[in-house]
Amino acid sequence: MERIRDYLFDSESDAWTLNAHMMAQKSAHVFAVLMFNLNEKDTKVQSLLSDPSLWLQEAVECDGVEVTTGLPLIHALFACHVSNEFALPGRFCELFDHWVRLEDGLLMMDAKDSGGRSLQPLAFANSNTSDWARSYGTYLKRFRIAEGPPVHESKTCAVHFGTDIETDGPVALKIMRVKEQYEREKDARDADGMAVDGCMSILYRDDAELAEALDKDFCLVMTQASRSLFEAINTERFAGRDLPKIRMIAYKVICVIQNLHNSGRIHGDIKPRNVVRVNASKQHTFKDGAKGGQFEVSKAWKDDSAGELFDAADEEDWQLIDLDASAEISSVEHPNERKLLTGKMSTGYVAPEVARWEFRDGTEGGVAPEAVPAIDVWGFGVVLFQLLSGTKLFMVDESDDNIIANNDKTELMNWLALDNERLHRIQKREDKNERKDKGKTGKSKADGLTATDFEIEAARDLVRLCLRGDPSERISVDQIVEHHPFFDVERLNARQPNKDQDDPNGDREDSNEDQDDANEDQDDEDQEDDVNEGQGNDSNEDQDYDSGNSPRRSNTQENPRFSERVMGLHRLVVPTRFSLFGRTTAPPLENDSHTSKFYAASAHNELIELPAYHFFLSHMQAQAAGTVKDLLMGLERNEMTAWVDMRASEITLKSMQRGVLSSQRFVMVLTTDVLFRPFCLAELKFAIDRFSRLEGGVTKYITFVVEGDSRFSAWDEDKNVPWSSSIKASDIEKLKEGLASLDLDPQEVLRDAENTVRECSKIPYRRRMYEEEAMLRALARHAGFRAVPLPPPQSSELRLCIVSKQSSPIANELKELLQDAGANLCKIEKAPVVLVVLEPKCQADVNAALDAAPANVPLLAVHHKWKFADDRKDLKPEWQTKLLDELEVLPWRAKTNKENATYLVDHEQPALISELCLRVRRALRASALDN
């Protein structure tokens, strides 16, 4: 062995000898045999052979020796006699894999000799090593992975592009971290990996050996997509601009969702990243019809600054991927076999009911929401909104599509309907003759969709119907695909795939079959005349805006599903929170004397009401205007909305009732005279009529906020009610006359009001910021909504002493609550902070305790039934000044002693404790700085 080693290696320089180079170039098979022997018996050689620089050493010129210079030894071995028995044997490649790390081996494969030849094609040319060369550096000896980082990586998976070396076909490999999610991806397809039409299938599941190897690594192999919708939106300049392309993509996506639902599953994670284009999109920057064998930049492309004249959307194939969040749909027929959502989601695209579960705090339990089709409808609506507006519904982390801001999370959890600000991001592009350089918002008026008014209204309407907060009120997938007018063009194209697009008369009966249904309830001829008259001269709004030479198909139909007369009704009469294109799921209103006067039954039958407000705030202006303004600001601060009369476009009895109908909850601020005001009682009656018909009744939907401060017209439940025996008969008669003038039954109104005030929950109104926040959170929680999460409490040490009269129950309760909050209680002599409890007959004990406290110790104070004017005189002057003149004394809110259990006050003491802990920490930090 030593002689062989010396023959091949120069031990002094750790380099190949000239003999080794000659043998590699002329007798590679002999070189391989010698290396086999050295590998088995010479450990020193084994360590040398792992160095890639050794293999890449080139032969140098030597007099009298016939050797090719500039040729690395490894190249010489693979190039030697590639077509006969003297070629390098395949077994050598096995040892090469053993000696050389893959990273170094790949570099060697790309290394070139002096003639410019790399190693890989040399190995391909040798029949003994061609299979090895083809599979070297692949995954599972089948897939060559593209260089560079993953094309996509998340907390659950990484995706790499690659090539199947047997077919040369491009593939995508999705390697997953969690077995459960990997199994869900497979379960969403059949045994051969085939998915429903429009969902990406898994490849190679029919090859048992390869499938087993892939399963071991949780690896899915799929057809390589050309681009995701996420990438297309960000790079192809069609979102918020190119309506035909947007509509085509959206129609293909919703049809795939329909196929998936028909197979019994939901997708569960609809978002742009999970929609991919599986065929290459055409380029249109260069002319491919130019002569001379060279591309030329297209003049049409230069002239088309909007980027909309060239469209390949009809030829694009868009599919859904990422079925690891997919779940079986819960069956109505088997309510005991609930199918739940998986834990995988992207919160920027999840429905409100899912967000409430995902963002629940530690005190909330519960199980995941049921897997129902409405969840995918929401996700589709968010994607459609992004396509139509060019903006996202919420600000998200671009790496994982999750919502970032707590306010956005809260808004989503409390979501009722799409607000007008977002809705009007879906806008029509202005005509060039009318366009100004910049709008009020600074957004160029050249932005927006090239569309008719009808198409804009239909687009907004579909997004509104998808983005309903209540899943039972969302439009269904079948209704979207088969009926909604936004997709009339796509349905017509699907029915007539071989007909000329310019033929407006083809299958007119099919294209208009829903128009009769939409108009059959329009029996009021006077109303029709009014609407037609209100339209003015807009009869040409639906004319085709494309030139006859445009290669794109028309955006309009010869016979739109809804006439301009009905469209005019939608624009002129119906508020934007209603939809023209559906029917309500809310319980019908009884056609009694006062309801029918303000809310026509025909309107209820033809419109879908979109709740616009979380709360209706009823109050008496003279006594509670400031209170309601503060309530409104607090609710909006916590991502909730409220109907308030001063913000309404008009203040009439009709608008009040429509405000009640458009609100999810009713809140009345109880002050001294509010229940003696006919309009306030009318609002309460409207709420009673609406909510008494719903599950849970008025006690679930109506809440009273009670003013208890005598400075602001405090309410007394025994005196300030019309049914009190202390009220003058003349005042009651005057109230009844006022109610009768509003066409309301006074006896019925007062009876219902009395029962409602007695039964429904009441929350004391608080003005101090920390108490107000707690009150708003209690109100939101009681109504089923969420408030913006509070910042987590600080973890710094809490040390203080509590001073009070002996055997004070309040002090004892404070001690327990503070200790539960993590406070350490200490003796007065070593106290860094002192908390004083002021209550009747405490002065002697407080004086004695404070006299023993360290000098200049920071003080805090809480009072209960303390009379500031009378009780202070028994305190020492020093403590009077420090406690009552220089310090805010916080009120202790005892749990109510009222027999009426409808008062909600459990939030008040925790709010005080949180505020005290905050102030103790602040005092401790200040003391530390002073020292």
pLDDT tens column, 848-892: 999 999 999 999 999 999 998 888 889 999 999 999 999 999 999
Which pLDDT does position 87 carry in this prediction?
Answer: 85
Query: What is the mean pLDDT of the segment spanning 286-298?
Result: 73
Query: What is the mean pLDDT of the segment spanning 418-436?
Result: 79
Here the tokens at position 353 are 């009911």
Here the tokens at position 102 are 């893959």
Q: Does domain 141-224 have CATH number 3.30.200.20?
A: yes
Here the tokens at position 448 are 């927006």
Distance CA 731, CA 728 (A): 5
Pick from 390, 268, 279: nearest CA to 329: 268
**Angle between helix 678-691 and helix 729-741 axes, rounded to 10 deg:** 60
Task: Report which residue type is found at 393.
Answer: L
Pick from 200, 225, 202, 451: nearest CA to 316: 225
Question: With helix as H, strand as E and coil as C, how does 278-305 read?
Answer: CCCCCCCCEECCCCCCCCEECHHHHHCC
Residue 55 three-state SS? helix
Give the number of C-alpha atoms closer than 13 A to the C-alpha of residue 467, restricted to the C-beta side.
27
Which pLDDT does position 569 carry in this prediction?
Answer: 38
Q: In the structure, what pLDDT confidence band is assigned to residue 596 with cuts at 50, 70 and 90?
A: very low
Cβ burial, residue 101 (10 Å; 0-12/13-18/19+): exposed
Q: In the structure, what pLDDT confidence band is assigned to residue 246 with cuts at 50, 70 and 90?
A: very high
Q: What own/partner pairs with CB < 8 Å and gap ≥ 24 does 103-112 have?
A: 104/50, 104/52, 105/52, 105/136, 105/137, 106/137, 107/52, 108/52, 108/55, 108/56, 108/74, 109/136, 109/137, 111/56, 111/72, 111/75
Count other Cβ atoms within 10 Å, centred on residue 724: 14
Output 335 or 826, whichever has higher pLDDT: 826
Output 316 or 619, whichever has higher pLDDT: 619
Distance CA 34, CA 49 (A): 13
- What residue segments make up the domains of the chain, in order of their start? 1-137, 141-224, 233-282+310-429+448-494, 613-783, 798-930
User: Which residue intervals of 669-789 are DSSP H helices?
Assistant: 678-691, 697-701, 729-741, 746-759, 769-783
Same fold, 233-282+310-429+448-494 and 798-930: no
Which pLDDT does position 900 carry in this prediction?
Answer: 64
Residue 880: DSSP 8-state: I
Report for 152-156, 276-280, 317-321: range of highest mean pLDDT? 317-321
* Predicted TM-score of the model (pTM): 0.80
Which pLDDT does position 540 carry in this prediction?
Answer: 34
Which pLDDT does position 363 carry in this prediction?
Answer: 64
Q: How far is CA 739 from CA 223, 618, 683, 724, in A?
A: 71, 16, 11, 18
Q: What is the mean pLDDT of the chain?
A: 82
Report percent pLDDT > 90 for the chain: 49
Distance CA 859, CA 178 (A): 55
Query: What is the mean pLDDT of the segment spanning 127-136?
Result: 90
User: Which residue intervals of 91-242 are DSSP H helices?
Assistant: 91-99, 102-110, 119-125, 130-135, 179-187, 208-216, 229-235
> Which CATH number, 1.10.10, 3.30.470, 3.40.50, 3.30.420, labels domain 798-930?
3.40.50
Which pLDDT does position 338 carry in this prediction?
Answer: 67
Give the number of C-alpha atoms closer than 13 A to the C-alpha of residue 899, restricted to the C-beta side.
2
Which pLDDT does position 931 carry in this prediction?
Answer: 64
Query: What is the mean pLDDT of the segment spanning 815-830?
Result: 93
Output 70 or 197, whichever has higher pLDDT: 197
Strand partners, 58: 72
Helix (H) or strand (E) holding 79: helix 73-79
Which pLDDT does position 639 carry in this prediction?
Answer: 94
Which pLDDT does position 409 carry in this prediction?
Answer: 96
Is 559 a residue whose pLDDT tops 90? no
Residue 474: DSSP 8-state: S
The phi, psi pair for 392, rounded to 5°, reads -95, 155
Q: In the structure, what pLDDT confidence band is assigned to residue 452 with cuts at 50, 70 and 90?
A: confident
First to last CA, the chain: 80
Is 79 a residue whose pLDDT tops 80? yes
Q: In the structure, what pLDDT confidence band is assigned to residue 930 with cuts at 50, 70 and 90?
A: confident
Here the tokens at position 28 are 């590679």
Cβ burial, residue 356 (10 Å; 0-12/13-18/19+): buried
Which pLDDT does position 391 carry in this prediction?
Answer: 95
Output 139 or 83, whichever has higher pLDDT: 139
User: Which residue intervals of 414-541 are DSSP H helices?
Assistant: 420-423, 453-466, 477-482, 488-495, 508-511, 513-519, 525-534
Q: In the structure, what pLDDT confidence band is assigned to residue 701 with cuts at 50, 70 and 90?
A: very high
Which pLDDT does position 582 carry in this prediction?
Answer: 47
Q: How far is CA 888 from CA 330, 842, 859, 899, in A?
A: 57, 18, 10, 32
CA 890 to chain centre: 41
CA 644 to chain centre: 29
Distance CA 675, CA 607 (A): 34
Is 584 a residue whose pLDDT tops 80? no
Pick from 817, 828, 825: nearest CA to 798: 825
Tens-digit pLDDT profile for residues 466-500: 999 989 888 899 989 988 888 888 776 776 545 44
Is 538 a residue whose pLDDT tops 80? no
User: Residues for the chain: how many in total?
Assistant: 931
Which pLDDT does position 4 carry in this prediction?
Answer: 83
Query: What is the mean pLDDT of the segment spanning 62-85?
Result: 76
Strand partners, 157: 176
User: Which residue intervals of 588-728 are DSSP H helices?
Assistant: 593-598, 601-606, 621-637, 653-661, 678-691, 697-701
Report for 516-520, 659-663, 843-847: range of highest mean pLDDT? 843-847
Cβ burial, residue 322 (10 Å; 0-12/13-18/19+): buried
185 in Cβ contact with 176 (< 8 Å): yes
Which pLDDT does position 677 carry in this prediction?
Answer: 96
Sign of CA dihedral 283, 289, 290, 291: positive
Query: What is the mean pLDDT of the segment spanning 633-654?
Result: 92
Here the tokens at position 681 are 């009682």
For tokens 């002319």, name the residue. Answer: 287
Task: Name the class of domain 233-282+310-429+448-494.
Answer: mainly alpha
Which pLDDT does position 341 carry in this prediction?
Answer: 77
15 in Cβ contact with 4 (< 8 Å): no
Task: Report which residue type is found at 869.
Answer: A
Is 535 a residue whose pLDDT tops 80? no
Q: In the structure, what pLDDT confidence band is assigned to residue 896 with cuts at 50, 70 and 90?
A: low
The CATH superfamily label for domain 613-783 reads Toll/interleukin-1 receptor homology (TIR) domain (3.40.50.10140)
Compute the 3-state secondary structure of the chain and give helix, strand, coil in percent, each to the nearest 5: 45, 10, 45
| Range of lowest pLDDT (237-241, 591-595, 771-775) | 591-595
Q: In the structure, what pLDDT confidence band is assigned to residue 165 with cuts at 50, 70 and 90?
A: very high
Cβ burial, residue 278 (10 Å; 0-12/13-18/19+): middle
Q: In the structure, what pLDDT confidence band is assigned to residue 64 with cuts at 50, 70 and 90?
A: low
Here the tokens at position 341 are 């959502």
Here the tokens at position 707 are 């003013």
